[in-house]
Chain A
Amino acid sequence: MRDEAQHSPTATARPAPDPSVMIAMRNVAKSFGPKNVLVDVSLEAPRGQSVVIIGGSGTGKSVTIKSIIGLLEPDAGEIWVDGVRVDRRKRGDALLARFGMLFQGGALFDSLPVWENVAFRLRQDKTKTAADCKEIAVEKLRRVGLKPETADLFPAELSGGMQKRVGVARAIAADPEIIFFDEPTTGLDPIMSGVINELIRELVVEIGATAMTITHDMSSVRAIADRVAMLHEGVIQWEGPVSEIDSTLNPYVRQFVQGLAEGPIEAVR
C-alpha cells in the first residue's frame, strides 16, 4: 500500500524543479475507482526538448498528459510547469494559452469548418479579424500538408488522416510553448507520418517548444524524441535519451521496442 503521507502535498514541501525543466511530475498517482492507473509517476521534460512516453495500451499515458494539462486532477503527487506548481488548482487561461494539445482522435468540433477549428483560440483574441484568423489557419494547414481548399470543409468531410493533421494544425495554431501529442501518427500513412514527425521535430528545434508525445509507433519515437520514458503498471520503468533505447538492458523497454510477445509485459491484459 502506498504511503499517503509521502505523497501528500503538505508533507512534501520540496523545492521547485531546476529552471531548465519545463514540466516535472513528482510521485503522481491517479485512480479511477478501484483501478490505480498512475501509481507513482515521476517524470521531467527539459525545456525545449521532445519527450516521448511509450507503453502498452491502457497503461495511463493519456492520463499522464491529461493530469498535466488539467483535464484530470491527480490524487497525489506534484505537477510543476515552468517552475509553478499546478496540480492543486484550475489551469488559468494564461497557462492554457501556453499549451497546445493534439487529441488521439483529433477531437475536432463537428459544427465548425476546418479553419474555425484551427483558429478557435485565435478567434478569442478580439484584436484579430476573422480574415486574419483564417489566413493564419490556412498557413498552419499548409504546414501539416493540407491544401487551402480544406479550410472551408467540415471535419466530417475529411478522412481520418486529414482530421488528424487538422488536429495538429489546431495544436500549433497559437504557437504554444508546450505541445502535447497523443498518438500523432496513428491512422496516418507512412509518408504523412514522416511529415508529422518532421513537423514535431521542427517545432522543438526551430521554435524551442517543449513537446510531450504519447505513441506506440517506434519509428516516430526515433524520429522525434530527445528523451524516452517507458510507462508500465502506473510507474515510469525506464527513462533515458533516445540514443539508449536500443542498448538499454531494461526488460520492459527491450520487450516493447523489439515487439516481443514474451517478457515482463503480459501480452493479454
Chain B
Amino acid sequence: MISLVLGIFAGIGATILGLARFTGHAFVFAGSAVSHIFRPPFFPGEVLRQFMKIGYYSLPVVGMTALFTGAVLALQIYIGGSRFNAESAVASIVAIGITRELGPVLAGLMVAGRVSSAIAAEIATMRVTEQIDALVTLSTNPIKYLVTPRVVAATLALPLLVAVADSIGILGGFLIGVERLDFNAATYIRNTTEFLQLADITSGLWKAAVFGFIIALMGCYHGYYSGRGAQGVGRATTNAVVSASILILASNYVLTELFFSA
C-alpha cells in the first residue's frame, strides 16, 4: 500500500520535473531562435520557402475550416437565439465570434496539425540522417538555418491566414444567413459591420502571430531533440502537435485576458 502511494507521488514528481525541464529547455531554444533573427548571416530564401509551405499551402485547409465554422455558427446562433427572439443578432455574433476567437484558434489548431507535425518530422529526419551534423561541418548553425526561418515565417504567415479565415468564416455565415435563414443580404452586411470593432480583428491577428510562433517552435523543438530511428521521428511528430495544440489553447486564454479584461 505504502509503495503504491509512493509510486503515485514519484510519478507526479517525475511529471512535474519533466514539465519544468521541457519549459526551461524550450525557452532557451526559443531565445536562441529569436536571437538569430538579428545576427547575420540571414537566409531570406529559406524564410520565403517556409512562408510558402506554412502559409500558402495551408490556405485550403484553413479556408474550408473557416467556411464551415461560419456556417455552423450562423445556424446555431439562429436556432439558439430564436428561443429569446434574438435571431437578428446572428450577423454580429458570427463576425465577433469568428474574428475574436474561432478564426485564430481554429486556424491555429488546423495549422498546428498540418505544419507542426511536418516541421517536426522533417527536422527529426534530418537529425536521424545526420543532415544536422552535416550543417555544422559546413559552418552553418542549424538553429539559424532550420529553426529561425520557420519561426519567422510562421509568425508572419498565421496573421495573414487568419485574416483570410475571418473573411471566409464571415462569408460562410452570410451564405447560410441569406440562403438558408432568409436574412436580407444588405441587412446582414450592415449588422456585420455595425457591431464589429477594429479591436476584434486586431486582437485575433495578434493571437495568430503568437500561435504561429508556438506552432513553428514546437515543431522545430521536438524535431531537433528527437530520438533515434523511425520511432523517434514518430514520437517527435506526435509531441509537436500535442504540445502546440495545448499551448495554443492555453495562450489563447492568457491573451484574451490581456486584450479584453477590465
Binding site for B on A (CB under 8 A): 66, 69-71, 93, 96-97, 99-101, 103-105, 107-111, 120-121, 124, 170
Q: List residues of chain A with CB within 8 A of the CB of B231.
A: none
- CB pair A109–B131 under 8 Å, yes or no, is yes
B101-147 CB contacts (< 8 Å) to partner A: 122, 125-126, 129-131, 133-140
Q: List residues of chain A with CB within 8 A of the CB of B129.
A: 105, 107
Assembled-state Cα–Cα distance A99/B137 (Å): 7
Does B41 lie at the interface of the complex (its beta carbon under 8 Å from any beta carbon of A)?
Answer: yes
- CB pair A107–B130 under 8 Å, yes or no, is yes
Across the interface, B131 reaches (CB within 8 A) one of A70, A93, A108, namely A108
- Min distance, Cβ A151 to any Cβ of chain B, angstroms: 18
Q: List 3 A-B pairs, minimum CB-CB distance, nearest first.
A: A107-B134, A107-B130, A101-B137
- CB pair A103–B41 under 8 Å, yes or no, is no
Q: List residues of chain B with CB within 8 A of the CB of A101.
A: 134, 137
Q: A96-B138, A97-B139, A105-B130 are in contact. List 9 more A-B contacts (CB 8 A).
A: A70-B136, A71-B133, A71-B136, A96-B136, A99-B137, A107-B129, A107-B130, A111-B49, A121-B138
- CB pair B139–A103 under 8 Å, yes or no, is no
- Min distance, Cβ B228 to any Cβ of chain A, angstroms: 12
23 of the cross-chain contacts (CB-CB < 8 Å) are A66-B133, A69-B137, A70-B136, A71-B133, A71-B136, A96-B137, A97-B139, A101-B137, A103-B130, A103-B134, A105-B129, A105-B130, A107-B129, A107-B131, A107-B134, A109-B135, A110-B125, A110-B126, A110-B131, A111-B49, A120-B138, A121-B138, A170-B138
Assembled-state Cα–Cα distance A39/B131 (Å): 27
Across the interface, A124 reaches (CB within 8 A) one of B41, B130, B131, namely B41
Assembled-state Cα–Cα distance A40/B40 (Å): 40
Binding site for A on B (CB under 8 A): 41, 49, 122, 125-126, 129-131, 133-140
For B133, the closest partner residue in chain A by CB is A71
- Min distance, Cβ B44 to any Cβ of chain A, angstroms: 13
Q: List residues of chain A with CB within 8 A of the CB of B125.
A: 110
Q: List residues of chain A with CB within 8 A of the CB of B134.
A: 101, 103, 107-109
Assembled-state Cα–Cα distance A93/B139 (Å): 5
- CB pair A124–B139 under 8 Å, yes or no, is yes
- CB pair B133–A107 under 8 Å, yes or no, is yes
For A96, the closest partner residue in chain B by CB is B139
Q: List residues of chain A with CB within 8 A of the CB of B135.
A: 109
- CB pair A121–B139 under 8 Å, yes or no, is yes
For A91, the closest partner residue in chain B by CB is B136
- Min distance, Cβ B244 to any Cβ of chain A, angstroms: 22
- Min distance, Cβ A77 to any Cβ of chain B, angstroms: 21
- Min distance, Cβ B143 to any Cβ of chain A, angstroms: 14
* Interface hub of B126, B134, B140 (most chain A Cβ within 10 A): B134
Assembled-state Cα–Cα distance A99/B136 (Å): 11
Q: List residues of chain B with CB within 8 A of the CB of A108.
A: 131, 134
Assembled-state Cα–Cα distance A97/B140 (Å): 11
Assembled-state Cα–Cα distance A99/B135 (Å): 12
Q: List residues of chain B with CB within 8 A of the CB of A66.
A: 133
- CB pair B138–A104 under 8 Å, yes or no, is no
Assembled-state Cα–Cα distance A71/B138 (Å): 12
Q: List residues of chain B with CB within 8 A of the CB of A69.
A: 137
- Min distance, Cβ A62 to any Cβ of chain B, angstroms: 9
Assembled-state Cα–Cα distance A103/B122 (Å): 19
